[in-house]
């Protein structure tokens, strides 16, 4: 890993926290559709003119409706990048980076190769790959292209094809914007927080303070979905399919993915805090992948490739 990349990762936890996301999230999530705001403005004008609410209450209603309407605009690449940095900061508060130079460089080389061969070769901040110093069998793909894989997961790989498959799968989560899909599910909550905050401005300061806390909790819910709960089974299957395509584009044997899953199946502990908790079973994934790789034989990597893999992964 380049020193600049390492500083990028190691600086995340200090720069980006849940609290830091609370303010930019308002502008990041709530921008777009004007129709609801126009209707609300008309309705509030009528209500105000008839004396049904004060002018201040009418303005709050208009702003709140605009916020709700704006929840449906796509998140921009820049917003995706900063959301992903926040997720990365949370991950690095839980896990230590593993920065052994040979392994870090190798994983970044494989990861960048997979990213460039994917259907989404570029992101706003670029793809970055980091090994986590943990025996857990796990990996995380944050929005924008920050990808983390544990030493425990890399130990499930017996070839470069398998290691590339792990990274291609995580790149696929970014490619398919699975993180953003999880975030979008909470955007209505964020909009309703604005709605409550506008009412609080009218009806009481303590309510506003309470609603600010609720908003921060909604950010925690986003992190919970991406980091702890994991993606849905359908999203995991879709990422496997995309990873097979990426591996074929690069020239790797996509059976590297099934090989890795077979080893993972033997090593996962029921009820563990790793892939067994947040992913469909390796058996089910292998079953779905096999029709896509039926034309490929067992992984038989060239000796030079295997030597490169063993040298880089020696201390992992």
pLDDT by residue (tens digit) across 227-248? 677 788 899 999 999 999 999 9
Q: Answer yes or no: do 35 and 171 share one domain.
A: no
Q: Answer yes or no: do 196 and 104 share one domain.
A: no
pLDDT of residue 22: 30
Q: Tell me the per-residue pLDDT of 168-191, one tens digit each, with 9 for 90 and over.
A: 999 999 999 888 777 655 554 554
Q: Tell me the per-residue pLDDT of 195-209, one tens digit each, with 9 for 90 and over.
A: 555 554 554 555 545
Helix residue spans in the chain (DSSP H)? 3-10, 12-15, 18-29, 35-49, 55-69, 77-94, 101-117, 151-154, 160-175, 178-184, 187-203, 205-223, 233-250, 255-267, 275-278, 282-289, 303-313
C-alpha to C-alpha distance for 263 and 275, rounded to whole angstroms? 13
Residue 83 within a domain:
no
Q: Answer yes or no: do 237 and 276 share one domain.
A: yes
Average per-residue pLDDT for the chain: 75
Pairing mode, strands 128-132 and 146-150: parallel
pLDDT of residue 24: 32
- Taking residues 278-299, what's their average pLDDT? 88
Residue 11 within a domain:
no
Q: Is the pLDDT of residue 222 over 50?
A: yes
207, 220, 184, 88: CA torsion to nearest 10? 140
pLDDT of residue 292: 94
87: confidence class by pLDDT, cuts 50, 70, 90: confident
pLDDT of residue 189: 54
The residue with greater pLDDT, 97 or 13, is 97
Q: Answer yes or no: do 148 and 71 share one domain.
A: no
pLDDT of residue 82: 78
Residue 160 within a domain:
yes
Choose one of 194, 225, 256: the last residue of a domain.
225
Residue 81 within a domain:
no
Tally of domains in the chain: 2
Q: Answer yes or no: do 244 and 117 share one domain.
A: yes
C-alpha to C-alpha distance for 4 and 54, rounded to whole angstroms? 55
pLDDT of residue 259: 96
- Give the range of the structural domain holding residue 63, as residue numbers without chain letter: 17-76+181-225
Tokens of 253: 């044997």
Q: Answer yes or no: do 210 and 260 share one domain.
A: no
Residue 239 within a domain:
yes
- Taking residues 1-27, what's their average pLDDT? 39
- Cα–Cα distances in angstroms (integers) from residue 46 to residues 43, 55, 69, 230, in the given order: 5, 11, 20, 47
Q: Give CB contacts under 8 A, 24+ apart, made by 277-280.
A: 277/230, 278/138, 278/228, 278/229, 278/230, 278/231, 279/230, 279/233, 279/236, 280/233, 280/236, 280/237
| Cβ-based burial of 207 (10 A; exposed 0-12, middle 13-18, buried ≥19) | middle
Residue 88 within a domain:
no
The residue with greater pLDDT, 95 or 63, is 95
Q: Which residues contact 204 (CB under 8 A, 6 or more apart)?
A: none
pLDDT of residue 61: 56
Q: Answer yes or no: do 130 and 233 share one domain.
A: yes
| Cβ-based burial of 52 (10 A; exposed 0-12, middle 13-18, buried ≥19) | exposed
Q: Is the pLDDT of residue 28 over 50?
A: no
Q: Answer yes or no: do 68 and 191 share one domain.
A: yes
Q: Tell me the per-residue pLDDT of 102-145, one tens digit each, with 9 for 90 and over.
A: 999 999 999 999 999 999 999 999 999 999 999 999 999 988 99
Q: Answer yes or no: do 216 and 284 share one domain.
A: no
C-alpha to C-alpha distance for 259 and 266, rounded to whole angstroms? 11
pLDDT of residue 210: 52
Q: Per mean pLDDT, which of 23-27, 114-118, 275-279 is the most reliable?
A: 114-118
23: confidence class by pLDDT, cuts 50, 70, 90: very low
Q: Answer yes or no: do 131 and 53 share one domain.
A: no
Residue 10 within a domain:
no
Choose one of 225, 242, 257: the last residue of a domain.
225
Tokens of 210: 């309470």
Residue 286 within a domain:
yes
For residue 10, give the 3-state DSSP assignment.
Answer: helix
- pLDDT above 90 coverage of the chain, percent: 42
User: What is the distance of C-alpha 210 from the center of its chain?
Assistant: 28
Of 27, 37, 96, 34, nearest to 62 by C-alpha is 37
- Taking residues 254-268, what's their average pLDDT? 94
pLDDT of residue 74: 55
The structure tokens 């004060």 sit at 54
Q: Answer yes or no: do 302 and 248 share one domain.
A: yes
* DSSP assignment of 31-88: ----HHHHHHHHHHHHHHHTTSS-HHHHHHHHHHHHHHHGGGSPPPHHHHHHHHHHHH
18-29 vs 205-223: helix axis angle to the nearest 10? 100
Q: Answer yes or no: do 154 and 205 share one domain.
A: no
pLDDT of residue 290: 93
Choose one of 201, 225, 249: the last residue of a domain.
225
- pLDDT above 70 coverage of the chain, percent: 59
């Amino acid at each position: 890993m380049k020193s600049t990349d390492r500083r990028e990762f190691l600086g995340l936890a200090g720069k980006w926290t849940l609290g830091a996301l609370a303010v930019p999230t308002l502008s990041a999530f709530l921008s777009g559709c004007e129709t609801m705001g126009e209707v609300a403005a008309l309705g509030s004008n009528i209500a105000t003119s008839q004396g049904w609410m004060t002018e201040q209450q009418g303005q709050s209603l208009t702003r709140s409706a605009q916020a709700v309407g704006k929840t449906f605009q796509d998140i921009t690449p820049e917003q995706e990048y900063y959301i992903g940095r926040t997720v990365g900061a949370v991950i690095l508060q839980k896990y230590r980076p593993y920065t052994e130079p040979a392994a870090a460089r190798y994983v970044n080389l494989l990861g960048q190769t997979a990213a460039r061969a994917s259907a989404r070769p570029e992101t706003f901040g670029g793809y970055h790959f980091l090994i986590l110093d943990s025996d857990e069998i796990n990996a995380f793909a944050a929005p924008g292209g920050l990808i983390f894989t544990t030493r425990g997961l890399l130990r499930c790989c017996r070839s470069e094809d398998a290691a590339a498959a792990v990274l291609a799968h995580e790149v696929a989560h970014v490619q398919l914007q699975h993180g953003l899909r999880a975030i979008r599910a909470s955007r209505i909550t964020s909009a309703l927080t604005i709605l409550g905050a506008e009412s609080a401005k009218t009806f009481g300061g303590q309510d506003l303070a309470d609603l600010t806390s609720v908003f921060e909790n909604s950010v925690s819910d986003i992190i919970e979905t991406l980091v702890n709960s994991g993606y849905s089974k359908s999203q995991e299957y879709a990422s496997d399919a995309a990873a097979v395509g990426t591996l074929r584009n690069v020239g790797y044997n996509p059976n590297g993915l099934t090989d890795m899953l077979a080893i993972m199946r033997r090593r996962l502990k029921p009820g563990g805090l790793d892939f067994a908790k947040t992913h469909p079973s390796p058996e089910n994934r292998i079953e779905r992948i096999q029709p896509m790789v039926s034309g490929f034989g067992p992984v038989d990597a060239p000796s030079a490739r295997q030597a490169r893999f063993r040298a880089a992964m020696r201390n992992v």
